[in-house]
Amino acid sequence: MAIKVGINGYGTIGKRVADAVAMQKDMKLVGVTAHSYSFNTEAAKQKGYKIFAVSDESENELKANGIKPDGNFQNLLDEVDVIVDAAPRKIGKENIGAFYKPNKIKAIVQGGEKHETTGVSFVAQCNYDKAVNKDFVRVVSCNTTGLCRTLDAVNKKYGITSVHATMIRRGADPWDIYHGPINAIVPVLEMPSHHGPDVQSVLHDVEIFTTALSVPSTLMHLHSVIADIKKKPNVDDVIEMFRSTTRVRVVRNAEHLRSTAEIMEFARDMGRLRGDMPEICVWQEAVGLTSNAHNKLLYMQAVHQESDVIPENIDCIRAMMGFKDGLKSIKMTNETFGIK
Contacts to ligand NAD by CB under 6 A: 8-14, 33, 35-36, 40, 54, 86-89, 91, 110-112, 141-142, 173, 305-306, 309
Residues 80-114 as b or e (16 or more Cβ within 10 Å = b): bbbbbbbbeeebbbebbeebbeeeebbbbbbbbbb
Cβ closer to ligand NAD: 8 or 217?
8
Cα four-point dihedral sign 252, 223, 176, 118: positive
CA 340 to chain CA centroid, nearest Å: 16
Q: Which of 113, 18, 1, 12 is nearest to 313 (CA)?
A: 18
Helices (H), 81-234: 91-95, 124-127, 142-158, 195-200
Length of the chain: 340
Whole-angstrom CA distances from 103 to 45, 73, 171 are: 27, 12, 38
- In the complex, the smallest distance separating the C-beta of residue 253 from ligand NAD, rounded to whole angstroms, is 27
Cβ closer to ligand NAD: 36 or 295?
36
Question: 3-state class of 206 per DSSP?
Answer: coil
CA 226 to chain CA centroid, nearest Å: 22
- In the complex, the smallest distance separating the C-beta of residue 124 from ligand NAD, rounded to whole angstroms, is 15
- In the complex, the smallest distance separating the C-beta of residue 62 from ligand NAD, rounded to whole angstroms, is 12
Catalytic residue among 142, 148, 281, 316: 142
Cβ closer to ligand NAD: 160 or 316?
316
- In the complex, the smallest distance separating the C-beta of residue 301 from ligand NAD, rounded to whole angstroms, is 16
Cβ closer to ligand NAD: 33 or 284?
33
Question: For this structure, is 142 an active site residue?
Answer: yes
- In the complex, the smallest distance separating the C-beta of residue 38 from ligand NAD, rounded to whole angstroms, is 7
Q: How many CA atoms are closer than 13 Å to the CA of 37, on its beta-carbon side? A: 14
Question: 3-state class of 108 per DSSP?
Answer: strand
- In the complex, the smallest distance separating the C-beta of residue 88 from ligand NAD, rounded to whole angstroms, is 5
Cβ closer to ligand NAD: 27 or 87?
87
Give the separation between CA 34 and CA 43, rounded to whole angstroms. 12
- In the complex, the smallest distance separating the C-beta of residue 308 from ligand NAD, rounded to whole angstroms, is 8
| Nearest position to ligand NAD, beta carbon | 11
Question: 3-state class of 7 per DSSP?
Answer: strand
Cβ closer to ligand NAD: 24 or 305?
305
Cβ closer to ligand NAD: 40 or 127?
40
Q: Regarding beta strands 221-229 and 208-215, do their DSSP bridges make them parallel or antiparallel, or are they unpaired? A: unpaired
Give the separation between CA 242 and CA 153, rounded to whole angstroms. 7
φ, ψ of residue 30 in degrees (nearest 5): -75, -40
Q: Do the Cβ atoms of 2 and 76 come closer than 8 Å?
A: no
Q: Where in the sequence numbering do the catalytic residues fall?
A: 142
